[in-house]
Structure 1
């Protein structure tokens, strides 16, 4: 590739990963800070089978062992459908699954980190109206069901708010008319 320049870091980077609302933003973490570089990358992207017909939809989403990702990156439902999401955590760290308002995943993740040590008692679930529905913090082997009615059309992110997990543990529920 072509060298585009150097980025000065106060410390040596410890991790590079992609995340963000679009899944194509490069994040660089150092010991004390998180730097975000907006960088679009090529690729085929995700395929979605479209919204299922009928009034009820059941979706199962699991954490992937030792990967800090969900196994379902996106799914589609129709406005007004009764949605039941079964969230499973086969991974060893604790994880949750929070559905948030469009464009609010990063803000909610930051609020969870800002909770500091108090976050453990509150399961790193900030008290905000930006969170629509969600699970509790699940330990290894636990499962929880989340039920709701699909809202107005839009892209509704879901994210794990345990500190540091939100960079990769996210997906999108697409709601269509």
Structure 2
């Protein structure tokens, strides 16, 4: 019977947490190996591409979780663009509080430190963010929003920027401000829901 190991998943989870809390450049492989409890040989067997491979896999996994969260929020708010925005903002605020305002965005941190100099990681980050925008835009369109794509881009940009403000201020108040601002935009004739 083949031996199974969770070393790979532990290493990915640990690396993602560290990339989100302290950034890509500040996170070393030795720290990931130590904190994940992965045997060194197992780690290098699974991640022959080192930190860049970890970053690529984390970008894809983090983006996919974001797509799933957007889809869940959309399913919970059929026809209600304002409720959708409020639900997303509440989710972001809850995550920030739960992490004691320490979690940044894996995609944002990788992009800040590696894009555009690393074409592969840049493409993965861009694809992930584009998938988020597309998910929001699709729900906005289904809700009858007149300008779904620009508002979706603005919402994703606002939510990503809000992580920085929330971390610096140690407050989730910025998410309420985003929710109220978008609620007003969606009520306007140009936003329309």
Scaled by the length of structure 1, the TM-score of the pair is 0.29
Structure index of larger Rg: 2
Structure having the larger proportion of residues in strand: 1
Q: Which has the higher helix share?
A: 2
